[in-house]
């Protein structure tokens, strides 16, 4: 899309809390966006609290209840855009 001058948006962007360090995953993802994917103009967070599309167990993708992650995301978004709305 960048070749044609079209905006690039990542939809359903997210990471589960189970199985690893979600905070670090987001930190690394934003570092890569700034370094290697500078043409990305938008990100839509996948924020479903009851995702049963891939497993029998409901998966919680929500970020708002993780205060450490919210602070990390606010900081990373500010460093990219200059402000967070």
Q: Does residue 76 surpass a pLDDT of 90?
A: no
DSSP string computed for 6-75? --EEEEEE---STTS-HHHHHHHHHHHHHHH-TTEEEEEE---SSB-SSSSSPB----TT-HHHHHHHHH
Work out the pLDDT band at 25, boundaries 50, 70, 90: very high
For range 27-42, the mean pLDDT: 89
pLDDT at residue 82, as a whole number: 59
């Amino acid at each position: 899309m960048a070749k044609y001058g079209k905006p690039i948006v990542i939809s359903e962007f997210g990471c589960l809390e189970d199985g690893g360090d979600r905070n670090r995953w987001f930190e690394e993802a934003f570092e890569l966006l700034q370094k290697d994917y500078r043409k990305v103009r938008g990100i839509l967070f996948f924020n479903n609290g009851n995702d049963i599309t891939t497993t029998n167990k409901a998966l919680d993708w929500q970020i708002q209840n993780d205060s450490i992650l919210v602070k990390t995301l606010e900081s990373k978004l500010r460093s990219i855009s200059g402000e967070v709305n």
